[in-house]
Amino acid sequence: MAKLTLEIITGEQLLLREEEIDEVVAPGSVGELGILPQHAPLVTSLQAGSLRVKRSGGEDDFFISGGFLEVRENEVKVLADSAERGTEIDLERAEEARERAESRLRGEESVDRARAEGALRRSLIRLKVGRRRRRGRADMAPGAGGAE
Amino acid sequence: MPSTREIRRRIRSVENTAKITNAVQLVAASKMRRAQLRAEAARPYAESMRGLLANLADAGGDADSESLHPLLERREVQETAIILITPDRGLAGGLISNLQRHAGSLVLSPDQAGGISMVPVGRKGLDYFSRFDVPFRGEFQQLGDYPGLDDTRPISRIVIDDYMSGAVDQVSLVYASFVSTVQQRPTTIQLLPVEAPVAESAEAGSEVEYIFEPSPEAVLDELLPRYVEMQVYQAVLESAASEQSARMVAMRNATDAANDMLGDLTLQYNKARQEQITSELLDIVGGVEAMA
């Protein structure tokens, strides 16, 4: 059966290029969408959320802060504003970002409310993606995640 | 004929200069490599974005692509803004004066219709154009040697806002495009209104019908500002690579020139020293003869 090729590209680098992928689940701006092989050509904007990549070897999570997704002939291209691998999310820093956004929202000074709320929402999703990964790891038998 | 002491002093001063130019050259060389890599790393995103935009402009069907979005709309030009990207620091050979002259010919030309304003990025452009009667819409400096998207986003924000509000009708971007390590070219591109790229002709036959979610207009609305951001970001990255390359080459030439000069001076010094010894010998021989 045909498989998908996935590219995750940010303005600063090509984050990932992988073949033999079974399914990509992306946070589309009108709702989460799953993409299977043989999908019709599609372009959609993305909102902040988690991008899940499923393949025979297991599943990977990425945090995407927004961007676009293009599907064409079994090639999925994600143009992300910024993207992070779930396992690489620094939970402490994400937590700090959340606190910063919250205090800014509480603060008196005239802040750009929409921006601060956006920042808060993004930091919450980032935390969620980061935590899910951590748990997934803890489930594994000791010593199973050695080779990387 | 200068005395041996004078020559020795000059040798020391040239040696010190060579040490400095050599050090600057080495630093620029390593920064250049990284700046070039970063400029290359940004390319896939820019290319994908261009492809996407071309498809979207196509999806507009027969409708004039200009009418799809305000950022695509061409207006009668009454006010032009120029973003000028220059280095913060000098010692980059002819790069900076070339950029200043290039931008100057755009800004100060007498046949320029309508008003003109600037957004200088980098101190060299800022200092130069502060001397003229040109209003600034914003100014940026100290972006660092390896600026990121977050550093360049405010630049595009200013011009997009001003374009949307009608304060400017056209925005150009002037920067040093990186041709090769030994060649950088001052380049002007039109940033706004966005000129939608044309879909690759090779694909014209096998045209793909995309589904757009939520709609072509909504995707375009998200895409265009990012497209502008990306162009500014790329120009800044290329400028950084150009700056370091120009500096490295200029400093290598300076080091070579200093070493040549050192050779000449050493020769002069040895000659002067020998002459001195000869004349001292003659003095002694003369003295001995006189006593005999």
- In order along its 292 residues, chain B shows pLDDT tens digits of 678 899 999 999 999 999 999 999 999 999 999 999 998 888 889 888 888 888 887 766 555 566 678 888 888 888 889 999 999 998 898 899 999 999 988 887 766 667 889 999 999 999 999 998 888 998 898 888 888 888 898 999 999 999 999 899 999 999 999 988 889 999 999 998 888 777 654 454 446 678 888 888 888 888 899 999 999 999 999 999 999 999 999 999 999 999 999 999 999 999 999 999 999 999 999 988 888 7
Domain of residue A131 covers 90-139
Which of A48, A64, A86 is a domain's end point?
A86
Query: Tell me, what's the pLDDT at B61?
Result: 56
Q: Which residues of A touch B223 (CB under 8 A)?
A: 45, 68
Same domain, A21 and A78: yes
Which of A49, A68, A86 is a domain's end point?
A86
Is A43's Cβ below 8 Å from some Cβ in B? yes
Same domain, A74 and A134: no
Q: Do B214 and A77 touch (CB under 8 A)?
A: no
Same domain, A10 and A81: yes
pTM: 0.81
Report the domain count for chain A.
2
Residue B99, domain CATH: 3.40.1380.10
Report if residue A35 sits inside a domain. yes
Same domain, B46 and B171: yes
Question: What number of C-beta contacts closer than 8 Å exist between A and B?
Answer: 74
Residue A102, domain CATH: 1.20.5.440
Same domain, B171 and B81: yes
Q: Do A11 and B45 touch (CB under 8 A)?
A: yes
Q: Which residues of B touch A10 (CB under 8 A)?
A: 45
Report if residue A28 sits inside a domain. yes
Same domain, B20 and B89: no
Domain of residue B132 covers 28-250
Same domain, B148 and B169: yes
Q: Which residues of B touch A68 (CB under 8 A)?
A: 52, 219, 222-223
Is B209's Cβ below 8 Å from some Cβ in A? yes
Q: Do B212 and A43 touch (CB under 8 A)?
A: yes
ipTM summary value: 0.72
Is A68's Cβ below 8 Å from some Cβ in B? yes
Same domain, A81 and A106: no
Is A74's Cβ below 8 Å from some Cβ in B? no
Same domain, B17 and B156: no
Which of A51, A71, A86 is a domain's end point?
A86
Same domain, B14 and B130: no
Q: Do A43 and B226 touch (CB under 8 A)?
A: no
Same domain, B168 and B261: no
The rounded Cα B122 to chain-centroid distance in angstroms is 9
